Chains A and B, each alone.
Chain A
């Protein structure tokens, strides 16, 4: 499926998610990297030891979910925009998600916007908690959103404003 349409299967997604037990402990990284391409900036960006050293530059990243503290430093470092951080412990009804975003206009804090799935279809409205856009992010902004728990595993993107206003 992934190689034909660009959409990872549920099985693919399950493979890169930590256990429910770990999710409930607090923020943790999800790396949707399924192909052995020559790339390792996620490892270079990680100072917590969560993303393990690469033997070969074409290895897939291996994650030590116990060491990952969900710091988000790796999100903007991934050229494939494949990384997000999830905090399942954030609220009883909502999961906090930190995702990379490279479109203008940027969403505004407090705004409710469309939460999109891995096909770009709207799933549910999500609330923007913050927009991180410092020099370190280098225009790959990190958007923090609150997502209703029932839908969090489907959400992978957002649509801010109307698409015609993107220019």
Chain B
């Protein structure tokens, strides 16, 4: 049995920030990550981030990841475990882990005083005829192929979804020399940032809002996609079909929080459409209804990496503070972070997310 003060599950932007924040007060932190590397989705983000200097604005995502990993590695209080999957939480609070070590799998048990769950999100998919043809990918897979393995997913892509992820990946596909035939979204308006949409549009990629995917065709891989306009009930309008010759379709229709650990841990859960699905109720310091389980990042509600990092810092500071670790700057820092978070959720674009968060407090 491994004993630690705080166990953090998930080494993405919020998990890394949680570890750095928790370790500041002297708490012993263990950070586990399923993948071989830390940084989560940051590793694949080649674009510059929004936000303010505090959240590394105007720095490219992968560079932010490198900075955070460096900071974590430099801390004596943080033990990091890569290639390690958290399997479950037991009634006595013990968390079990499976660590891949060379060709072996090692089974570990951890007894932590507190747990911060930063497991991120899962991709949503779409039902349509032949959606299992090779060449039809989730957005995360396209980004992994391109930016992690440096493999082009194909020659000509139809992007399904004009949220930030769909827009950003379309731009990255263009940068990799892949043609983007168009971006469709069933919604009447572009969901992602308009600056992203405009920069793709001025590279010649059309954006079809109010369109959905009707079917995919191809013998052994995707060759053709049919799209159509939708009516006010989101149903395809007959006669508005367009055919597109594409060998790749990238499905980017949103994410849903990865919530398994909260269910298993006994946290009170709430279905919140604005946050992408089931999320644990939490107080402003991100403590769930189970006193020693904290939540941060996309597993708390689908948002941007900037707010995931701020949330991670809040959960990390709060978790160590609640365990009795004294950190002089605590009050000032946590209030500043809460204000930052409020700022990031301000404005027209934040309405949706603010409405969601109003539903999960306690």
Tell me the bound Cα distance from A2 to B189 in angstroms.
Answer: 9
By the criterion CB–CB under 8 Å, are A5 and B202 in contact?
no
Our count of residue pairs bridging A and B at CB distance below 8 angstroms stands at 149
The answer to whether B350 touches A79 (Cβ under 8 A) is: no
Residues of B within 8 A of A45 (CB): 58
A–B Cβ pairs within 8 angstroms, 11 of them: A32-B198, A35-B194, A37-B347, A38-B344, A58-B350, A79-B57, A80-B193, A81-B199, A103-B175, A117-B202, A163-B179
Q: Mark A28-53, 1 if CB is under 8 A from B, else 0.
A: 00001111111111001100000000
Instruction: Give which listed residue, A4, A37, A102, A120, contacts B175 with CB less than 8 A.
Output: A102
Known: A6-B190, A38-B306, A38-B344. Is A80-B199 also a contact (CB below 8 A)? yes
Stretch at the interface among B48-56, B221-229, B291-299, B316-324: B48-56
Does chain A have a CB within 8 A of B197?
yes
Q: Kindly identify which residue among B51, B196, B201 contacts A57, using a CB–CB cutoff of 8 Å.
A: B51
Name the contact of A35 in the complex, choosing from B52, B179, B193, B345 (C-beta under 8 A): B193
Q: Of B85-93, B203-211, B263-271, which binds chain A?
A: B203-211
- Listed in ascending order, the chain A residues whose CB lies under 8 Å from chain B are 2-8, 32-41, 44-45, 56-59, 76-82, 102-104, 116-121, 138-140, 156-157, 163-167
Excluding A58-B350, A166-B174, 15 further A-B contacts by CB distance (< 8 Å) are A4-B209, A8-B198, A36-B346, A39-B51, A39-B57, A44-B52, A58-B349, A78-B48, A81-B199, A103-B174, A117-B202, A118-B201, A138-B48, A167-B176, A167-B177
In the complex, what distance in Å separates the CA atom of A34 from the CA atom of B198?
11
A57 pairs with B193, CB closer than 8 A: no
Cα–Cα distance between A156 and B339 once the two chains are bound (Å): 36
Let me know if B195 is at the binding interface, CB within 8 A: yes
Interface size class of B (residues with CB under 8 A): 35 or more
B199 to chain A, nearest CB (A): 5
A58 CA / B349 CA spacing, docked (Å): 9
Contact of B348 among A4, A36, A140, A163 (CB under 8 A): A36
Chain A residues closer than 8 Å to B190, beta-carbon distance: 3-4, 6
CB proximity of A141 to chain B, nearest CB, Å:
12
Q: Which residues of B contact A79 (CB under 8 A)?
A: 47-50, 57-58, 195
A79 to B168, CA, bound (A): 11
Taking beta carbons and an 8 Å cutoff, which residues of B are in contact with A?
Answer: 47-53, 57-60, 152, 174-177, 179, 188-190, 193-207, 209, 306, 343-350
A63 CB to closest chain B CB (Å) equals 16
> Does the CB pair A80–B196 fall under 8 Å?
yes
Chain A residues closer than 8 Å to B53, beta-carbon distance: 41, 44
- Residue in A57, A104, A156 with the greatest tally of chain B CB atoms within 10 Å: A57
**CB-CB nearest in chain B for A167:** B177
In the assembled complex, the CB of A18 is this many whole angstroms from the nearest CB of chain B, namely 20
Question: Closest chain A residue to B196 by CB distance?
Answer: A80
Chain B residues, Cβ within 8 Å of A59 = 347
CA A133 to CA B152, docked complex, whole Å:
26
- With A37-B349, A58-B347 as contacts: A82 and B50 at CB distance below 8 Å: no
Residues of A contacting B350 with CB < 8 Å?
A: 38, 58
With both beta carbons as reference points, the residue of chain B lying nearest to A40 in the complex is identified as B52
Closest approach, in angstroms, between the C-beta of A61 and any C-beta of chain B? 12
**Smallest distance from the beta carbon of B166 to chain A beta carbons, Å?**
12
Is there an interface contact between B306 and A3, defined as CB atoms closer than 8 Å?
A: no
> Are B343 and A57 in contact, with the CB atoms below 8 A?
yes
* B58 lies within 8 A of A41 (CB): yes
Beyond A3-B190, A5-B207, A35-B349, whether A80 also contacts B51 by CB under 8 A is no
Is A4 a contact of B202 with CB atoms below 8 Å? no
Asked if residues B347 and A120 are in contact (CB atoms below 8 Å), the reply is no
B205 x A120 contact (CB < 8 A):
yes
Known: A38-B344, A140-B48. A3 touches B194 (CB 8 A): yes
Q: Determine if B48 and A82 form an interchain contact, defined as CB atoms under 8 angstroms apart.
A: no
Q: Which residues of B contact A140 (CB under 8 A)?
A: 48
Using Cβ atoms and an 8 Å threshold, which residues of chain A touch B48? Answer: 41, 78-79, 138, 140
Asked if A2 and B50 make an inter-chain contact with CB atoms under 8 angstroms apart, the answer reads no
Closest chain A residue to B191, Cβ basis: A3
Cross-chain contact B152 with A119 (CB below 8 angstroms):
no
